[in-house]
């Protein structure tokens, strides 16, 4: 079976690496002009002229990034099976549509309002009560196109700095930590939920994911699974879906979802019985799902901007290095290291030992380290 992947970055690369043992082959369709997948067949098509050619070469289509025009996804869906369905893409591209769906399905969100100019942004900040976070309604990622308003007076400046015609304005959530859940649904409607991960960001970029999230109450994992089940079934979704949430004193609050495999699920490559990438390939190919149980405890460390002393990390008996074959550039995701351990105590020690060889890495901070 030949799988067509829209997008050709590291997520596509890892999908292919997981698909080869199942005898899948891959054709990547890149509209950016800078594909980095580095394997499979890559078609670069900046003007969108060769879509039919791409479709003639593949049996099924999936995607590894969500900023793909919905009309392109719909055109493709008319020709070949596309998973997840274009509707999921449409919802995930639009924060207002996403938060509306969360609300309809009983998934808690921060209180929010829409702003279409500086005046309505100010009014939203006044009604919701500051601080609030204003985000461009479409096209934002990794914390870009966002501003925190400490007072309604900040509205003018925030409006011009975000420079977008429609904003979602959210009440600032006082969270304990950020967490995510990754789930997968097969063509036959079978569901599987990975243990949740605890995520630490710096400058809007994910740095560390620990899984299973330490000290997570069982009912919190169950709540997240219930939300995911509702989303997956509502969207008649096939493949991996990721939901990012805030854990607060009053339970989970949903932030956003991604209709794809996710950076906070890279730990599953060695840390789970079946990786998120393999399970996505299984789902979109019409196969049964694999076991999602964790093997011990894991931490994923992103390699950002510069590679550091990779050979020193390769010497560590508990570290698994994944490089994306990309050039160094500030803020760029170049690879990740998965650290496995038998206990959280051992994990902390191992992560710190590894991070010293990654000069761009901020100090390891998590619920495990803040306890002292």
Positions that interact with ligand AMP (CB under 6 A): 110, 133, 135, 140, 143, 170, 172-173, 178, 201, 204, 244, 255-256
Q: Which residue lies nearer to ligand AMP by CB, 3 or 173?
A: 173
Q: Which residue lies nearer to ligand AMP by CB, 110 or 239?
A: 110
State the nearest-atom distance from the C-beta of 218 to ligand AMP, in Å.
24
Q: Which residue lies nearer to ligand AMP by CB, 61 or 216?
A: 216
Q: Which residue lies nearer to ligand AMP by CB, 27 or 241?
A: 241
Q: Which residue lies nearer to ligand AMP by CB, 196 or 281?
A: 196
State the nearest-atom distance from the C-beta of 146 to ligand AMP, in Å.
6
The answer to whether 292 and 334 are in contact (CB under 8 A) is no
State the nearest-atom distance from the C-beta of 362 to ligand AMP, in Å.
14
3-state secondary structure of 219: helix
In sequence order, what are the residues at sequence separation of 6 or more whose Cβ sits closer than 8 angstroms to the Cβ of residue 302?
Answer: 205, 206, 207, 208, 263, 333, 335, 336
Q: Which residue lies nearer to ligand AMP by CB, 257 or 283?
A: 257
State the nearest-atom distance from the C-beta of 309 to ligand AMP, in Å.
29
Beta strands in 212-358 (DSSP E): 239-248, 251-258, 297-304, 319-323, 333-341
Q: Which residue lies nearer to ligand AMP by CB, 142 or 187?
A: 142
Segment 194-201 long-range contacts (CB within 8 Å, at least 24 positions apart): 194/265, 194/268, 194/272, 194/276, 194/292, 194/294, 195/221, 195/292, 195/293, 195/294, 196/220, 196/221, 196/224, 197/264, 197/265, 197/267, 198/366, 198/367, 199/244, 199/264, 200/365, 200/366, 201/143
State the nearest-atom distance from the C-beta of 255 to ligand AMP, in Å.
5
State the nearest-atom distance from the C-beta of 232 to ligand AMP, in Å.
20
DSSP letter for 263, please.
G
Angle between helices 95-104 and 218-234 (to 10 degrees): 110
Q: Which residue lies nearer to ligand AMP by CB, 66 or 244?
A: 244
State the nearest-atom distance from the C-beta of 63 to ligand AMP, in Å.
19
d(CA 368, CA 372) in angstroms, rounded, equals 8
Q: Residue 28 to residues 33, 37, 327: CA-CA distances in angstroms? A: 12, 8, 20
State the nearest-atom distance from the C-beta of 192 to ligand AMP, in Å.
24
């Amino acid at each position: 079976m030949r799988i067509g992947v829209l997008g050709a970055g590291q997520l596509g690369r890892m999908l292919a690496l997981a698909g080869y043992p199942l005898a899948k082959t891959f054709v990547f369709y890149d509209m950016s002009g800078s594909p980095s997948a580095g394997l499979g067949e890559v078609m670069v098509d900046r003007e969108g002229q060769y879509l039919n050619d791409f479709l003639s070469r593949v049996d099924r289509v999936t995607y590894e990034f969500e900023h793909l025009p919905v009309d392109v996804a719909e055109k493709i869906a008319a020709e070949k099976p596309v998973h997840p369905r274009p509707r999921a893409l449409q919802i995930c591209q639009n924060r207002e549509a996403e938060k509306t769906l969360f609300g309809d399905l009983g998934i808690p969100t921060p209180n929010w309002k829409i702003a279409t100019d500086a005046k309505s942004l100010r009014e939203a900040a006044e009604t919701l009560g500051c601080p609030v976070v204003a985000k461009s309604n479409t096209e934002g990622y990794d914390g870009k196109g966002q501003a925190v308003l400490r007072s309604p007076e900040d509205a003018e400046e925030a409006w011009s700095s975000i420079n977008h015609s429609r904003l979602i304005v959210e009440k600032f959530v006082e969270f304990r930590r950020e967490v995510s859940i990754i789930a997968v649904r097969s063509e036959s409607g079978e569901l599987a939920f990975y243990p949740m991960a605890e995520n630490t960001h710096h400058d809007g970029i994910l740095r560390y994911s620990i899984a299973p999230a330490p000290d997570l109450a069982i009912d919190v994992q169950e709540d997240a699974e219930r939300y995911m089940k509702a989303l997956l079934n509502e969207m008649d979704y096939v493949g991996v879906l990721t939901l990012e949430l805030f854990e607060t004193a009053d339970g989970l609050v949903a932030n956003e979802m991604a209709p794809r495999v996710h950076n906070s699920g890279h730990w599953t490559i060695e840390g789970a019985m079946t990786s998120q990438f393999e399970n996505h390939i299984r789902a979109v190919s019409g196969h049964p799902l694999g076991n999602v149980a964790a093997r011990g405890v894991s931490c994923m460390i992103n390699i950002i901007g510069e590679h550091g002393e990779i050979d020193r990390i390769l010497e560590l008996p508990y570290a698994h290095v994944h490089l994306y074959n990309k050039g160094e550039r500030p803020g760029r995701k170049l690879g990740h290291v998965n650290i496995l351990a038998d206990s959280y105590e051992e994990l902390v020690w191992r992560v710190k030992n590894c991070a010293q060889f990654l000069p761009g890495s901020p100090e390891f901070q998590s619920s495990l380290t803040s306890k002292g």
